[in-house]
Amino acid sequence: MKVLILGGDGYLGWPTAMYLSRRGYEVAVLDNMIKHFWEAEVGVDPLVQTRPMHIRSQVWEELTGQQIQTFVCDIAENPKCLYKAIDKFMPDAIVHFAEQPSAPFSMMDRDKCVTTQQNNVNGTLNLIFAIQHTNPDIHIIKLGTMGEYGTPNIDIEEGWLNVEHNGRKDRVLYPKKPHSFYHLSKVHDSNNLEFACRAWDLRVTDLNQGAVYGIDTEETKMHPDLITSFHYDSIFGTVINRFVVQVAKNLPITVYGSGNQQRGFLNILDTIKCIELAIESPAEKGEFRVFNQFTEQFSLNNLASMVSDVAQKMGLDPVVEHIKNPRVEMEDHYYNAQHSGLLELGLKPNLLTDSVIESMIKNVLKHIDRVDENLIYPKIKWCHKK
C-alpha cells in the first residue's frame, strides 16, 4: 500500500514515515519546512536540532534499504505542486500532518492568527480538491485535536452527537468550543472535510488527538540522524515536555492557574499505531469518521505530581509552583471524553508510567546545557485587554 505523509518532516510525520516504511508500506513524505522558519521567527529551538528531511531519508535508505520519497511543497500556497505530487506518487492513503500546530503561536497577534488559519484551512481545502481531481477514492487521514471540543459540561462523543429537539431526532457533528485560533482552524478543517464526504463521496478519518509525549520509537533510535524534535518552550512545547525539562534543570514545575484543567494524552508510539490502524481499516466512501485519539486523561496537577514523584526518586529536588494562567479557559470543569473506536480496531495503549517519565528526564539531562530557561515561561496571553 502507498502512503503519502503531508508534514513528513515534523515531530509526528517523520517517525510515522519510518514506522510505515519498515512495515512494508511504500511511503513518501511532503513538507515545506516552514516550521523551522516559524521557530526562528519567535526565537525558539528544539532541544536537539533534527537533520533535514532529504538527509534523514538518505540515512534511512542506507540503514534499511527502504526508500522514503521526498517532496518539497507548500500545500497551502502552491496547490499545483500538491496535485503533481499526488499524480506522481498515486497514494492509496494520505496522512495529513501539515499544519501549524501551536495554540500560543496562533494567539500571539493578528499576523500569527492569520498565518495559522490560512496555512491550516487553505492547505486542507487544497488537499480536498487535489483528491477530488486525482482520485476520490484516496483515504484522507487527518490529524485533528481534542481541543476542538473544548470543555463541555456533557460527555464528549467521538465526533458525532445524537440529538432530540422538539420531538425530532438527528445525528449532528458534535458542537465545538475551541480554546484558540489554532484549535478553531481544526474545527474549520473538520467541517470542510465532512462536507466533502457528503458532496463528493470522499472517505475521511479525522483523528482528534490529545497531547502527545515522547520522542523515542524503534526507528528513531536506529541512528542519531533519525531523531525527531523535542520542544519544551512555551510556544511549541507540550506540558509534559515543559515539566520534564523544568525538573531536569532544577526549576520549579510551573502549573497554569488552579491546575485542575483536564486533557487527553497519548504516547508517540500510540499515535503512530493509530495511523496504521486507520490505514488498514479505511473509512467508507462518503464517510466522515471520527476517532478521539488519546489513551489517558490527566489534570495538570496529576501530571505535575507524577513528574515530581519520579524526579524525587532520581535524586532531584522538584518544586511545584502555580502561576497565573495566560490562557482563557475553564480551570475547574467536567471532562469525560469517549475514545473506544481505536481500541476496538486493536490499539493496545502504551501508558504514562514512571519509567517513561524517567526516560524523558534522562534524555533531557544528556542535553541540559542546551536548555534555555527563558523559553519555558509563558509570554503570550490569550486576553489582550488593557
Q: Is 149 noted as a catalytic residue in this protein?
A: no
- CA torsion 291-272-9-37 (nearest 10°) is 50
Residue 303: which residues within 8 A CB-CB, separation 6 or more?
239, 240, 243
Report helix, strand or coil for 249: coil
Selected catalytic residue, list 182, 213, 232, 335: 182
CB 274 within 8 A of CB 20: no
Report helix, strand or coil for 48: coil
Selected catalytic residue, list 145, 220, 228, 238: 145
Secondary element (H or E) of residue 309: helix 300-313
Selected catalytic residue, list 115, 186, 213, 217: 186
Residue 153: which residues within 8 A CB-CB, separation 6 or more?
333, 334
Q: Is 182 noted as a catalytic residue in this protein?
A: yes
Residue 106: which residues within 8 A CB-CB, separation 6 or more?
100, 112, 113, 116, 117, 180, 181, 182, 185
CB 89 within 8 A of CB 8: no
Active site residues: 145, 182, 186
